[in-house]
Amino acid sequence: MRLYVQDEKDGKKIYLNYKVRNRGELQRIVGSEKFKLNGNVYKVNAVRAEMDNNSFKVAAGIGSLIGVLGGVPGVLAGALIGGVVGGAQLETEKKNVESFNASN
């Protein structure tokens, strides 16, 4: 999950380098309900979360490795395992994003 705020001037996303589960944790880390970033002041409630596609890439990498090591049967097994692991990771990531965005 990646956290971001939208720049007030151009609307572009500015990503934050924090790993938290909800806005309460984020507020404890930054020490206030407001924080300064790139010369602008943002409220913790303005922070949004989105899915990070790296979870799927890791699962695909695992599946590819199994495939390379196992030949044709390995390719089939790797695709199956990669799909299962990737699907589970994506579902977990989706729930984490929804939970963060619903938090106060």
What are the residue ranges spanned by the domains of the chain? 1-50, 52-104
3-state SS string over the chain? CEEEEECCCCCCEEEECCCCCCHHHHHHHHCCCEEEECCEEEEHHHCEEECCCHHHHHHHHHHHHHHHHHHHHHHHHHHHHHHHHHHHHHHHHHHHHHHHHHCC
pLDDT tens per residue across span 8-25: 889 899 999 999 999 999
Q: Which of the four pLDDT bands, split at 50, 70 and 90, describes residue 32?
A: very high
Q: Which of the four pLDDT bands, split at 50, 70 and 90, describes residue 40?
A: very high
pLDDT tens per residue across span 41-67: 999 999 999 988 665 566 666 666 666
The reported pTM is 0.69
